[in-house]
Structure formats: structure tokens, C-alpha cells
Amino acid sequence: MIRELNVKVLCDDLAPFRTLALAQHGVSYHINIRYDDFEKNILFDTGSSYQVIKYNSQLMNIDLNRIDAVVISHGHYDHGGGLRDLLNDINVPVFAHPTIFRENFYLPYLYIGIPRDHIQDLKKKNNFVFTRDPMEIVPGVWTSGEVPRENRFEIVENMFTLEEGKVVRDQMLDDTSLYIDLGESIFLVSGCSHAGIVNIKNHGERILGKRVSHIIGGLHLINAKEDRINFTMENLAGIELYLGHCTGERVVNRFIEKFGDSVKRIYSSFEIRVIP
């Protein structure tokens, strides 16, 4: 049983005023899980570059050599860009969807995948555990696997990939989150919520059979239409929210206005401690 959970934001798009922490477009969370007589450390995403992760980890007294596992939420540069250089320093298992190295781009064409030269090097490593299904990676911590898309509001817009040489809309099936079992509830960790944060929440509640009480991550609502924002707010009521990255500042402010102190805007060096 998990006795204590500590989440530290190693990378987000913002850093606080008068801090030495570095900001970068990207996501990286250091997750420390304490049990009765041992602990585990997970790195969720690696930002756009390893330099920021390494610098902020030293600033925050985090020993990256003690990481037990890495989880990559999806195959975009701002979540997996630091992975190659991280693995040159430490040798740990990396949990990810098997399609994270596919072509990722916007139209008009703009490549947004993990850097191509990094992919060549990463494919030579034997660190990867690829799965499309939920998997318990340390006691009480599950990857989401592929998340069912169950509502009409949460759609992936303007993202594309290649299939047999043809340009097709990218449904972002690799979008992977973490569900941390707190006993009575779930702490949900998301990268960009491309699968839709309501879909992700519902999927986790079915897997573990309990409610989501906390969410940290980007909700990818920065360009969302009004009906999707309203739908999301209605379905996240009563949850402690720690929002950043691609959520969008306008949307974060709307959440704060509606839900008050239960919503926090995260930033590089932000810390959360939960005792179930």
C-alpha cells in the first residue's frame, strides 16, 4: 500500500518569478512513491531536452540515478526530447506505446515528433517495454494503455501521421497516462491528454474501481472550443487539479475562477505531497 506520494515538476512551460528553475515547452514529473518499507521513483516524460531536466533535478535535490522507471506519455518532442540523453546517463526500463517513434506532424507541415536523430539512437537501446494495454509498473502504479474514446467533445485536431505512405489523421493512440492507487482514490498523471482528460479519467476509474481525486498535467484545451471546455469543467468538478503545459492560460484561469483553491497552475519546481 502506498503511504506517501511526492510529485515534483522538473519541467513545465512556466517557471516562477525569482527562481533559478528553468522553464521549457514540455513536461517532466519526478514521482516518488513511498511504501511501508521501500520506495520507488518514476520519471514521467523528459521534456524537450535533457539539459533542463538535469539542471532542475540538481536544483531540487533529485538524484536521477535513483529512478526505477521512465514513462513516456506519447511520441512528441516536448515529452520525449530528453530521453536519449537521459538514457546515456542512466539505464532504466522505459514504458511506452509501441508507436511513439512514428511520424508526427501538423499541417501545414511541421514535424513535432521525437527528434529523428534521437529515434535512430533510441531504437538501438534495449530499455523499452512497449505495451498497448494497462500495466502495473511498480506496486499500485498503472499505465493507462490505449484509452477508449467515448464522447463527441474530446477529439484530436490538426495532428497527422503516415500510414503506408499516406497522410492520415493521427488519433494519438499512444497517449498514455498514469494511475496511482491511493487506496480510496486515484492520482492521475497526464502528459497532454490527447485522448481527452474525461476519457482518461473514466478509463482509470474502470481499471481500478475507484474515483479520481487528483489530476496533474496538461489538458490540451489551449485551442479548444467552448463546448469542450464546458464539458471538461463539468466532468472534473470535485477533483484537485494541477494544470500546466498545453492546458492554456485562459482555460486555467477559468478553472480557478470556477473551482477556486482546488485548482493550481503548476510550474518548474512545483511540488505536491499527498498522504492517502
In this structure, what CATH number is given to the domain that contains residue 175?
A: 3.60.15.10
Please classify residue 238 by burial: count the beta carbons closer than 10 Å to its beta carbon, then call 0-12 exposed, 13-18 middle and 19+ buried: exposed
For residues 44 and 148, the answer to whether their CB atoms sit within 8 Å is no
Query: What's the one-letter identity of residue 16?
Result: P
85: three-class secondary structure by DSSP? helix
Q: Which of 176, 184, 183 has its CA nearest to residue 142?
A: 176
Domain count, the chain: 1
C-alpha 107/C-alpha 18 separation (Å) is 38
Buried b (16+ CB within 10 A) or exposed e, 112-121: ebbbeebbee
Looking up cell 536523430, which residue turns up?
A: 117
Q: Which residues of the chain have pLDDT under 70?
A: none
pLDDT of amino acid 219: 98
Structural domain including 171 reads 4-274
Question: 219: alpha, beta or left, given left = phi > 0 and alpha = psi -120 to 50?
Answer: alpha
pLDDT for residue 17:
84
Closest CA to 195 of 218, 211, 222: 218
**Predicted local confidence at residue 18, as pLDDT:** 82
Say what the pLDDT of residue 223 is: 94
- The pTM of the full predicted model, rounded to 2 decimals, is 0.98
